[in-house]
Every structure is written in C-alpha cells, then in structure tokens.
Amino acid sequence: MKFPKITKLLPVALALVMTTSFAYAEPLSDIANGGEGDNGTSATALYQLTLDEFFDIDVQAPGVPTVTVDTDDYKTISLSSVSSVFEVITNKNTGATGTEGEPVYVIATCETDSATNTPALAGDKEALALIFTNVDNKPDAASVEHIRGGNATSTESPNAIAFSMTELYQHEETSKDGFVGDDYTFDKAKGQLGYSVANGKHHFTYTVGGPAYNSSFSTMDMAGTYKATLTMQRTSL
Amino acid sequence: MKKQNLLTVLILVMTIPFGIGKAFADAEAEQTGTLSVPPTISIIKESTSEAGSINPRTGINTGNLTAVFGLSTNVYDDAYNFIICSKVEVAGGGMVSGYTNNGELIFTNSSNLPSTDAITDIKQGGNNNPNAIAYGVNYTIPETMSISYEPSKETDEGTGCYVLLVNNTSEGTIIQSVDANPVDKSYSYADQAGTYKATVYFTAVAK
C-alpha cells in the first residue's frame, strides 16, 4: 500500500501546525514618553524651586542709659553707653562682579519747635556725634544747627545735647564679603549714613555715651527727657 | 479503492490534530523551534510635581516635589543596574553629580551658579555653600524591591546615585519625594534669590 499523498501531505501538515504553535509574541517595545530626556529606558524629572528676593530690617531697641550730671557746677554730664542694633537680612542678587550691593541708610533726627525730623548728626565720619533734644522744651532749629556746625558754645544750644557715637558693622552668612563698614558715606546736612550691603545677614551697632560732645551741655539745658531717633531705611533722603 | 481512500482520509485526520512531533508510518521527522526574547526595559515618568517655592526666612520648600516612575522589565539585577541619578549645574557651565554624601538632593541657583567649592562643601555637610541648597529624599517602592544610596557608584556626572534592586520583580512603581526642610547648614542668607534646580533621572545600565 502506498501512501504517496500522505507522505507529501504530512510535512505540509506539520509545517502548518508548527507555525501556529511557535508564533512569536511581540516583544515589549520601547515606549516613548514625554518629558525631558525620556526615551523608554530612562525618565527624567526636573525640579525647580523659586527663592524670591527679600530685604528685611529689624531693630533691637537700646536700653535706658544712666545720666550723670555734675551738680557742683552743672557743666558736665556723662551718659552711660547705650547701643541700638539694626539687623539687615537680604538675599537680593548683588551681581556677578561683587561690586554691586543693596543700598541702606541710617538717618538721625531730633525734634525742634519747628520740625520733627531735624537732622541730628554732628562731627565727621571718623568721629560721629548724635544730638538729643528736649521733648518737653523743644529747642529752635538754630540750637541744633550750632551743634551740627561744630562751633556751638555751651549757651548757644539750649535744650540740645550731643554725645559721641560709634558705629560698628558686622556681617555673616554672605556669599560675598559685605562691602560696608568703613566704606559708608556720611551726609551731615541730611543726618544720614549710607551703606551698600551684599546678600546675607548684617548687624549695625550704634553706641552713644560718655561726656557731652563739644561743649553742647550747660545750665541752658532744662531738665526733661531728651530724645534722638535713628531710622534705617532703603531709600535716601 | 474505497478501503484505500478511507485509510487515506483517516491518516490525514489523525495527523493534523497531532500536529507537531513525529510523523507516523515509515518516516520520522522532528524539528525544534527556538525563541530568542530580547531584554526589554521600559521606564516612564507617570506623573510629577516638579515646581515650588522656598520660604526665604527658613529655606523650607512648599513644592511637595514628587516624581512617579513606572518600571517594566524582563531583565534583572544580575544583568542591569537600575539607578536613580541626579545632576546639577555649577559655575563654569559643567554638570556634576547632584547628591550629597548622604544621598540628599542638591539644588543649585541657575541665576547665580555655585562654585565647585560650594558643591564640595554641601556634599560634606558644611556651612559654606552659597547658592546651593540640599533637601532629603524618600522612596516608595514595591515590597519586593529594595533601594539604597551608593556614594561611590560612578555616574555620567561623577559619583553617587541610588541603586534599585528589582529582585526578579518585572514591574512596579517607584516614587521619589523631596523633603520640605532643607538639610542643616545647607540653607542660609548667602543663598541668593533665584530659581534653584535639580535634575533627577532613572535609568538602566547593562552590567
């Protein structure tokens, strides 16, 4: 018995079945993704945090000084040292070259009978003085001007007394050395000290004390409360 | 004739269902089919929260920064390194590895790029690193996987990355989240205003 047809058919039958059984499953293809740098075998996340600019000024108020007057002749007065501290915190971009900075000003004022914000700095950049005026018996502007002008006699500045003032600058947490301290500007007419600060934390300490400055005290200075004001601000007068 | 035809038909019917394997009757034939399945890895970014802001007084970020990655693979730890790397830009235009020695994520100020010294400092946990801020990272991964930080592992940008062991797990979701609080001493007022950036990438590298 011959089975030529079967023989020929068998391989065909086998081939058909084999193909069906061994069909390949499609391999996982690289899946394209959105996003930066994503290509199916790598995915990327780009985090971004915004740090806004800020500039903050805070103050540590001075304590109450002790005033000592020589009651024998009432010609000398002495003030115990008292300090005001301003703290500046800023992260403002001060430029790539390191020479730029953010301006900040300290303005000294006192009250007279004609104005509440009379400039109150005397002396010069190396030897500053702060003028206090009697709030209960306000002097006239000329009394303060005599001290500021540097030629006051003890009787020409009633109800206005000046004391020496020192300035101390300190900084921390800055990306650049703060360019302040000795480089500040002094405008006597405005009663203003000008600084330029880099980002970081800065402290400005003003200490007043000692004897009266330049013959500014006498019996012409009536009893009462004497006041001077220091203001730190970002704008110049 | 009829008997022959019937026999022929019977043989045909019997043969077809049995399909593969040996042919009956006088001859035998055997063939072996083989398959070659290529290694296949798919890593996708499923979702992210990539933007936020920094409180200038505290350095705390409010972005709830998160990256969710999906992984599918038919190759495992013996053949591939599954790594989560980071890169940041520094002054001079280069990119460096963006993790500290403890695996915290470094952000650098794109408006005022930090120096390489600042990066070295922040990597070591120092306090002199202007315009670079570091935040801790946390991971949520399938229970069958594990992840650890390897500070000495080489990457395209330097050294230091997280190595994920899939442990024969073929798919899963890997979530990276960034802490809100800055790493101690990494944030100060020396960090100038600007946009702080960090790039994280999840990839697989053949061993």
**pLDDT one-digit tens code per residue, B66-111:** 999 999 999 888 889 999 999 999 998 889 999 999 999 999 999 8
Band of the pLDDT at B42, cuts 50, 70, 90? very high
> Is residue A70 pLDDT above 90, yes or no?
no
Band of the pLDDT at A61, cuts 50, 70, 90? confident
Band of the pLDDT at A6, cuts 50, 70, 90? very low
Higher-confidence residue of A96 and B109: namely B109
* Lowest-pLDDT choice from A135-149, A175-189, A221-235, B144-158: A175-189
> What ipTM was reported for this prediction?
0.83
CA-nearest of B152, B156, B140, B166 to B199 is B156
Higher-confidence residue of A48 and A218: namely A48
Higher-confidence residue of A34 and A77: namely A77
B16/A96 CB distance under 8 A: no
> HSE-up of A52 (CA within 13 Å, CB side)?
9
| Tally of CB atoms within 10 A around A1 | 6
State mean pLDDT over A200-228: 90
B117 neighbourhood in chain A, CB within 8 Å: none
State mean pLDDT over A135-143: 95
> Is residue A160 pLDDT above 50, yes or no?
yes
Band of the pLDDT at B18, cuts 50, 70, 90? very low
A41 neighbourhood in chain B, CB within 8 Å: 41-43, 203-204
B56/A52 CB distance under 8 A: yes
State mean pLDDT over B126-138: 96
Percent of chain B at pLDDT above 90? 68
8 Å CB contact between A163 and A133: no
State mean pLDDT over B30-40: 83
B53/A49 CB distance under 8 A: yes
Percent of chain A at pLDDT above 90? 46
Going by their DSSP bridges, the two strands A192-197 and A160-172 should be labelled as unpaired
State mean pLDDT over A62-75: 75
B176 neighbourhood in chain A, CB within 8 Å: 45
State mean pLDDT over B1-9: 39
B202/A13 CB distance under 8 A: no
Residues in chain B: 207
Question: Which chain A residue shows the shortest CA-CA distance from B59?
Answer: A51
Band of the pLDDT at B25, cuts 50, 70, 90? low
8 Å CB contact between B127 and B188: yes
> Is residue B125 pLDDT above 70, yes or no?
yes
Q: For residue B173, what pLDDT is reported? A: 97
Q: For residue A233, what pLDDT is reported? A: 96
A14 neighbourhood in chain B, CB within 8 Å: 19-20, 23, 29, 31
Cα A35 to chain centroid distance, Å, stands at 40
**Cα gap B203→A38, rounded to integer Å:** 9
**Cα gap B184→B63, rounded to integer Å:** 19
CA-nearest of B53, B64, B132 to B98 is B132
Cα angle vertex B6, ends B3, B9, to 5°?
150
A174 neighbourhood in chain B, CB within 8 Å: 189-190
Q: For residue A117, what pLDDT is reported? A: 95
B199 neighbourhood in chain A, CB within 8 Å: 36, 44-47
State mean pLDDT over A86-104: 76
Which residues does A168 contact at the CB level (< 8 Å), separation at least 6? A203, A204, A205, A206, A207
- Using CB atoms, pick whichever of B19, B190, B197 lies closest to residue A199: B190
B176/A45 CB distance under 8 A: yes
Residue of B43, B137, B164 to mutate, testing the A interface (most A Cβ within 10 Å of its Cβ): B43
